[in-house]
Chain A
Amino acid sequence: MAIECLVLGAGQEVGKSCVVVSIGGKRIMFDCGMHMGYLDHRRYPDFSRISETGDFNSALTCIIITHFHLDHVGALPYFTEVCGYQGPIFMTYPTKALAPLMLEDYRKVMVERRGEEEQFSYDHIVDCMKKVTTLDLKQTVQVDKDLQIRAYYAGHVLGAVMIYAKVGDTAMVYTGDYNMTPDRHLGAAQIDRLQLDLLITESTYATTIRDSKYAREREFLKAVHKCISGGGKVLIPTFALGRAQELCILLDDYWERMNLKIPIYFSAGLTIQANMYYKMFIGWTSQKIKDTYAIRNTFDFKHVCPFDRSLINASGPCVLFATPGMISGGFSLEVFKQWAPSEKNLVTLPGYCVAGTIGHKLMSGKPTRIDLDKDTQIDVRCQIHQLSFSPHTDAKGIMDLVEFLSPKHVILVHGEKPKMATLKGRIQSELGIQCYDPANNETVLISTTQNVKINATKMFMRSCSHVDLHSVTKSAPCLSDFSFGDSGASNLVRNEKVAEGILVMEKNKTAKILCEDEFLQTLHVKEHNVQFQYSRPLEVCREQVSCQSSSGLLPSNGSSPERW
């Protein structure tokens, strides 16, 4: 049996993750994302490669979505509602809850701000979500007779999972995005030791090795603390889901410990709605939050209060979380305009900003003046701190996971081409695992080993399951003290376990292995002992009684002539 792996998106790039895998006649689509960088047809995966005729229902067995980020779920409403896919879709509970929020937010931005023609409507999103079947962690779902899938915790964002899929003896894992180190609100990815033919893993940080997260947290806290103790205001532009909660927990905890009384504000809207979901899906968060939520839900932030526009120009220090993350408009821009001119204030920037946004301008160099449009200019005198919190695993984490799972083949997706090539080399040389990094729309064929199943009888299993200690003992020299000598010691470790059995293959039946003792019973034959006798003429004296040579008798302990 072979696995055929068609990479429709995120091949040697980041964006529009979409991989279609065929195993044993089943075709699974992992993720169905959109590319945020393009506005033309390249935005969506090239679905026509799945089926020439456009009959996706018969071409695909199911779709599995790993998490709610748009580059993993963005094309789903388009695919189901516009392209007409009607088959099963799987995602986790938090993903199902949060994905519509993301999609709707994106649609609004597209249609209302940029005035584009919409690809899908609000109703499309709603209808699409109705087709979704929810998954839980470590829950095994039998999609159809042959296909089994199971979700494992992936960290990354709330509800992110890695997917294990199995058809017959062939098994594979698609990781989606994952994080091998825990952060303040999510745990580390966790998976069992599985026998895998194929592992498809993300490789966002294929060559980066990150230091401890503590250093990054320390830098951030230091900057914030310094700013507020100097009476300044801190603006933290973030996206509503994920990093906002992470940073907020960090600050809330620090405030608590340092007994600080300065207010932390959340701008209303999406963030507050998102917080509500975080509070609900406690089971998907980190151990610490799970342990303490009975006493206090970590997402009931003690020091956080909702923000009111009138507070923008209020005196005294404060910390404000505002959306969107890259200061591309909206509330965070509004506040930025007010706060940027004072050198007492601080603005933190996310790790990555799209070109053209103010965030990007701030990141590239330290401008003193930003032209917003023809009439508006902003004096930027405030301090700027760049955050480097990332929910993706680093190269070490990828290597650790690959080593832990030790699959037969690895496919890298979701990364930059040159870095992926380096990682591919490392996986092949250091771990000795065959590795591929296909580009978009390429197909990788992987051959898998064919296993033949045979049945074993209970007795055979038992005979394999224990060591006959007697046999070892008898041969070992009897020494009473601790000095065994070399021979004695080597005797101890000698434990080649040999199981003896007889393989029976009958017509139209699975082959069966059984114990020697059961063999006759199975064949319904009786045991015959054949005894051989030597007879030779003896010169007999008259007085002597003729005797038979007993020494000539062969040992015949049940060994039957049928033995092959």
Chain B
Amino acid sequence: MERLLLERLEVHLDPLSDERRRLRALASARALIANPDSSDSTRRSTVDALIRSLDAHYGDPAFLRPALKLLGDAAVLHRPLAPSVIAAVRPFLNGGKSLAADAIAVVASIAESSPEGGGEGGVSLLASVLDEDLVLSLASSPVSLVRSRILNLLVSSIGRAQSSVSLLRPHLMLQVLLGLAVDLYPLVRRVALDGIMAFCEVAGSDLDGSIIDCCYDRAVELFRDEDELVRSAAVRVVSKCGQMFAASKERMGNMERMDVIFVQLCSMARDMSVKVRIEAFLALGKVQLVSENVLLQSLSKKVLGVRSGSKTITKWSVNESKFSLSAAGAFVHGIEDEFYEVRTIACQSLGMLATFSIQFADNALNLLMDMLNDDAEAVRLQTLQTLFHMATHDHLRVQEKHMDMFLGLLADISALIRRAARKVLQLMMLPDIETFKSAINCLITNLETYPEEEEDIFSVLCYIGKNHGNFFAKLAKEFAQEIVPSCGELSLDSPRVAAIVVLFISSSISNEHLTCNIPVAIFSYAVSLVGRISCSLGNALNRDALMAYLCHHSEIPFSDTTLKSKVANEMCHSWSLHSVISEVKVKENLLSMNEIATHLKHSQKGVEQTDEELMQSIQSILEKVVETWPLIKLHCAHEVRRTLRTCKEELEMIAWNVSGSPSALLEFALQYVQIIQLIAEIWEKLQLKKSHIVGTMTLEFLLEKLSMSLRRMRYGFPGLSREVECHIIELTLLGFVFRLCEVGTCSNFVLKKLQAITSSAEFLCVEGSSKLSEFAKELLRSCAEGGTGETSQPFPIYKLLELFNLQQVAFTGRFKCIKAELQVFGNDSENPLPFVPGLPVGITFQITVHNISTNDRLWLRMAVGVSVQYVFLDSCQFTGRDEVRKFAVNTPFYATPKVPSFLLRACMLMECPSENVTYQKKDQRGPKDDIFLVCEEIEVYLVKIDSR
């Protein structure tokens, strides 16, 4: 066959044959090369034939272009062919005609796939093909595609060539890049600018000042480019140049220039394109060494007074007033931008610049405080982070007028915002006693509304109390009156009282002179709060010490004699020390403010430890599950059910507060318990059936559920150990035996499937060390017997069931769990989606998938009553490459019933990758293979449009 094709290929490649034939010949050549079963010699002769044909068709681009592409693909697929392909392609590079573009693409793809990866090997291969002269002539080719391709090649080589090998000497490279940066085509200009950027990055600080000048000048020229992407690339380059100027040795001489750069970037911040504005604000945040005048100008739309007169006007600074004009109010515009992305970044950059100047920080604060009222949560959060950043640099000087807005945020509906706001409050120095009081009051209201955030609120109270001892001292009496009841008992359950007690304790510990003013009673109240306080203070203060301290002051005899008053006295000093340390720590962590977002970040070590413990407890629960097997066999249904139920409950309890790696195991364990539950149930049912027939329907249902769960076990946890996989297959087999048992006979289809599975079990056992169990062996044998003869003799089912034994398996191994979450925002029985009966209705599903690889086939199933609709979810839609990916799918549901309202059940399914024995359900659209659920079914409420 191969030879036949090859011969025909030779004939058809002949230049005299007609065009269609030739193209078809190329198609068959592609098939010959791509077919994994083709022999090496065939491939080589195919490629040789193609190479020969190149010469024969010289001057016929319609043929040459696909032929070149094919050769390139061949060389990528089969490395040994590469040298001859390159040799054949080489002549096309000369002359700079349009075919050169194709030739460059071929060379590039071969270099990309070179065995050393895209690294140095690729570059050296390129260097061997393209010498400097050739590169230069290609770069000055009149065909834009050639220029753009060679430029791409150059740019991608810049980052890679570490040392010795490079395509061009640096100065030539720069020449090419600078030259092409003013190309006629925006695409070329943009790539050239990216190239300059990469060039600067690679060269780092070695670059000569005059060269940076050149890059800088060229980029500034492009600020007025028509294309937005070129403009944003130019902004990046200018920003990079600015950083390099700032880092260079003669940095002092560059001060004036940094101002100019800053102003230029400011003028770009008023660009009409969002992308450019985003880049511009990013760049503004990175500028250093800017003079204060210019910085302040960027915060005010009004042109501030002329800059200090002593400065001489250098060649850079143009018309003074125009200079200020373009900087004026860049940030004011930034934070008012229509796009929240721009606002967020402007806010971030404000924070970065605020570290340079206190005056700037103060003025920026006025803007930032206003941004706390933004309508996008992302912006508010970023503002708080910026404030935090400023606080850690001691550049946060809040004034009374700001506090209203700020304290308002403590009542925000988003927990993230509240948390972040408190974090800032913790570090804030409050300006006067009034704000101190209102801050305390706000925190208390906060505690009343959100009691679940007590820990965090207490810790903020502690810090505030500690930092503002003098304010507190003045108010202490007032507070004391408030909490010490005139008559009767003091209620520590009231959040207000608890909060004030915390405040008392914290300020007394840090400011000893206060201690005497505090009623003794308060210390004794505090004793009962010891656990909560020390918990919220975290590492700063240990619990026993606090206890001792409180007991000492409240004059309660303390049981532990070793920790007598002396020790307690020391405590009050050591806390301040501790707190200083912890404060420093806070400052160190200042950039990891994001921690707030991921609530669950304890110290890494602790997490690992608890992980280990968790694993063990899950393991032991699973062992317990397996131990029920003898009971199942003995039909102690009650007992079994109870044990399994408790196991499940325990697992669910654990699941409450688990995230990260053990969650896969947990999911697995839950699934496993469910399977055993099902098996127990079915077992029970089958035994009953022996005597009299009861509801086949339910049995059928159970069996279907079992097989679905088993599929989930088998395919939904990639990375299972072989042993576990064997175990699951055995359970699957058991499921089939159940099915046979139920039906009584053995249909051809089931048999086939059974055979497929047994053989896979066999395969696994051959590969691995584990042995097939008696049960599987017996099954295999009966299968073989059954399979030979058409008239299948009945299976020895009960014998098989007797043989089956559930074995203990170590469920270890780092496996992952494929799962998904499905959501329809803003839809519940109160807020149904509208639909028009008979017309399709569009539903937007928010989908989160975990551990899905690109090969997995996911489906969305929507069902109303009996009508089911499947939607294939293309893996290209999943954005990102992380373990967790989120995306939204807007999909129409067609078969809307003619009713006033209905419930749509939706769930996500995954096709089992490799079960090749299937029903051929031809007419039905939907998954072809067996499926399993990867998420829980959700319900979508819909209501007829006019009956709302």
**B136 in the interface, Cβ–Cβ < 8 Å?**
yes
CB-contacts of A187-209 with B (<8 A): 187-188, 190-193, 209
* Contact B301 A489, beta carbon cutoff 8 Å: no
Residues of B within 8 A of A394 (CB): 301
Beta-carbon nearest neighbor of B136 in chain A:
A469
**B684 in the interface, Cβ–Cβ < 8 Å?**
no
Among A190, A218, A470: residue with most chain B CB under 10 A? A218
Residues of B within 8 A of A476 (CB): 171, 175
Q: Would you give the shortest CB distance from B636 to chain A, in whole angstroms?
A: 53
* Contact B412 A258, beta carbon cutoff 8 Å: yes
* Contact A294 B844, beta carbon cutoff 8 Å: yes
Residues of B within 8 A of A399 (CB): 325
* Contact A258 B413, beta carbon cutoff 8 Å: yes
CB-contacts of B888-942 with A (<8 A): 890
**A316 in the interface, Cβ–Cβ < 8 Å?**
no
Cβ 8 A contact of A286, one of B172, B180, B338, B413: B338
* Contact B172 A473, beta carbon cutoff 8 Å: yes
- Contact flags B167-192 to A (C-beta < 8 A → 1, else 0): 00111101110111011110000000
Complex CA–CA separation, A268 to B865 (angstroms): 42
Q: Would you give the shortest CB distance from A549 to chain B, in whole angstroms?
A: 36
**A119 in the interface, Cβ–Cβ < 8 Å?**
no
* Contact B140 A483, beta carbon cutoff 8 Å: no
* Contact A484 B183, beta carbon cutoff 8 Å: no
Residues of A within 8 A of B373 (CB): 214, 217-218, 221, 254
**A88 in the interface, Cβ–Cβ < 8 Å?**
no
B56-64, B213-221, B596-604 - interface stretch? B213-221
Cβ 8 A contact of A482, one of B207, B374, B375: B207
Beta-carbon nearest neighbor of A186 in chain B:
B338
* Contact B411 A259, beta carbon cutoff 8 Å: yes
**B37 in the interface, Cβ–Cβ < 8 Å?**
no
**B240 in the interface, Cβ–Cβ < 8 Å?**
no
* Contact A182 B183, beta carbon cutoff 8 Å: no
Complex CA–CA separation, A213 to B334 (angstroms): 12
Q: Would you give the shortest CB distance from A305 to chain B, in whole angstroms?
A: 16
Complex CA–CA separation, A469 to B139 (angstroms): 7
**B371 in the interface, Cβ–Cβ < 8 Å?**
yes
- Contact flags B296-337 to A (C-beta < 8 A → 1, else 0): 000001100000000000000001011001001100110111
Cβ 8 A contact of A492, one of B144, B178, B183, B337: B178
* Contact A488 B336, beta carbon cutoff 8 Å: no
CB-contacts of A472-509 with B (<8 A): 472-473, 476, 478-484, 486, 488-489, 491-493, 495, 497
Complex CA–CA separation, A285 to B273 (angstroms): 17
**B203 in the interface, Cβ–Cβ < 8 Å?**
yes
How many cross-chain pairs have Cβ atoms below 8 Å apart between A and B?
A: 156
* Contact B412 A466, beta carbon cutoff 8 Å: no
* Contact A288 B270, beta carbon cutoff 8 Å: no
**A257 in the interface, Cβ–Cβ < 8 Å?**
yes
* Contact A466 B211, beta carbon cutoff 8 Å: no
**B376 in the interface, Cβ–Cβ < 8 Å?**
yes
* Contact B142 A465, beta carbon cutoff 8 Å: yes
Contact-residue bracket for chain A: 35 or more
Residues of B within 8 A of A212 (CB): 332, 335-336, 367, 370
**A463 in the interface, Cβ–Cβ < 8 Å?**
yes
**A184 in the interface, Cβ–Cβ < 8 Å?**
yes
* Contact A190 B272, beta carbon cutoff 8 Å: yes
Complex CA–CA separation, A215 to B332 (angstroms): 11
Q: Would you give the shortest CB distance from A518 to chain B, in whole angstroms?
A: 14
Residues of A within 8 A of B374 (CB): 214
* Contact B207 A396, beta carbon cutoff 8 Å: no
Q: Would you give the shortest CB distance from B822 to chain A, in whole angstroms?
A: 16
Residues of B within 8 A of A254 (CB): 373
**B2 in the interface, Cβ–Cβ < 8 Å?**
no
Complex CA–CA separation, A249 to B210 (angstroms): 54
**B12 in the interface, Cβ–Cβ < 8 Å?**
no
Residues of A within 8 A of B116 (CB): none
Q: Would you give the shortest CB distance from B834 to chain A, in whole angstroms?
A: 12
**A279 in the interface, Cβ–Cβ < 8 Å?**
no
* Contact B338 A484, beta carbon cutoff 8 Å: no
Residues of A within 8 A of B147 (CB): 466
Complex CA–CA separation, A427 to B178 (angstroms): 35
* Contact A482 B336, beta carbon cutoff 8 Å: no
**A82 in the interface, Cβ–Cβ < 8 Å?**
no
Complex CA–CA separation, A257 to B416 (angstroms): 12
CB-contacts of A267-297 with B (<8 A): 286-288, 294-296
* Contact B325 A430, beta carbon cutoff 8 Å: yes
With A258-B412, A493-B217 already in contact, the answer to whether A430 and B825 are too (CB < 8 A) is: no
Residues of B within 8 A of A190 (CB): 272
Complex CA–CA separation, A482 to B217 (angstroms): 18
With A212-B370, A294-B844, A462-B142 already in contact, the answer to whether A469 and B210 are too (CB < 8 A) is: no
Complex CA–CA separation, A182 to B373 (angstroms): 15
* Contact B302 A209, beta carbon cutoff 8 Å: yes
* Contact A430 B321, beta carbon cutoff 8 Å: yes
With A182-B337, A221-B373, A295-B825 already in contact, the answer to whether A481 and B214 are too (CB < 8 A) is: no
Cβ 8 A contact of B404, one of A209, A222, A400: A222
Beta-carbon nearest neighbor of A210 in chain B:
B301
Cβ 8 A contact of B367, one of A214, A257, A286, A491: A214
* Contact B301 A486, beta carbon cutoff 8 Å: no
Complex CA–CA separation, A257 to B376 (angstroms): 11
With A258-B413, A466-B141, A493-B214 already in contact, the answer to whether A295 and B826 are too (CB < 8 A) is: yes
**A253 in the interface, Cβ–Cβ < 8 Å?**
yes
Complex CA–CA separation, A213 to B183 (angstroms): 42
Residues of B within 8 A of A217 (CB): 370, 373
Residues of A within 8 A of B142 (CB): 462-463, 465-466
Complex CA–CA separation, A399 to B301 (angstroms): 12
**B749 in the interface, Cβ–Cβ < 8 Å?**
no
Complex CA–CA separation, A258 to B319 (angstroms): 48
Q: Would you give the shortest CB distance from B73 to chain A, in whole angstroms?
A: 30
Cβ 8 A contact of B178, one of A193, A210, A479, A493: A493
**B137 in the interface, Cβ–Cβ < 8 Å?**
yes
With A259-B411, A295-B825, A469-B175 already in contact, the answer to whether A484 and B182 are too (CB < 8 A) is: no
CB-contacts of A91-115 with B (<8 A): none
Beta-carbon nearest neighbor of B321 in chain A:
A430
Residues of A within 8 A of B328 (CB): 396
**B206 in the interface, Cβ–Cβ < 8 Å?**
yes
With A212-B332, A404-B270, A493-B217 already in contact, the answer to whether A468 and B412 are too (CB < 8 A) is: no
Beta-carbon nearest neighbor of B213 in chain A:
A489
Q: Would you give the shortest CB distance from A376 to chain B, in whole angstroms?
A: 38
* Contact A192 B826, beta carbon cutoff 8 Å: no
Cβ 8 A contact of A181, one of B213, B217, B336: B336
Residues of B within 8 A of A295 (CB): 825-826, 844
- Contact flags B426-459 to A (C-beta < 8 A → 1, else 0): 0000000000000000000000000000000000
Cβ 8 A contact of A467, one of B172, B180, B203: B180
With A470-B140, A495-B182 already in contact, the answer to whether A187 and B338 are too (CB < 8 A) is: yes
Residues of A within 8 A of B302 (CB): 209
Cβ 8 A contact of B270, one of A218, A400, A486: A400
**B763 in the interface, Cβ–Cβ < 8 Å?**
no
**A543 in the interface, Cβ–Cβ < 8 Å?**
no
**A117 in the interface, Cβ–Cβ < 8 Å?**
no
Residues of B within 8 A of A465 (CB): 142, 144, 183-185
Complex CA–CA separation, A493 to B179 (angstroms): 8
With A184-B375, A218-B373, A256-B413 already in contact, the answer to whether A396 and B336 are too (CB < 8 A) is: no
Residues of A within 8 A of B137 (CB): 470
Beta-carbon nearest neighbor of B96 in chain A:
A466
* Contact B413 A259, beta carbon cutoff 8 Å: yes
Residues of B within 8 A of A495 (CB): 178-179, 182
Contacts A218-B370, A225-B408, A495-B182 supplied; 9 other A-B pairs, CB < 8 Å: A259-B411, A404-B272, A430-B319, A466-B184, A467-B183, A469-B176, A479-B171, A480-B169, A489-B213
The 3 nearest A-B residue pairs measured at CB: A214-B370, A182-B338, A489-B210
Q: 7 A-B residue contacts at CB 8 Å? A: A211-B301, A214-B367, A214-B371, A287-B340, A465-B142, A489-B211, A493-B217
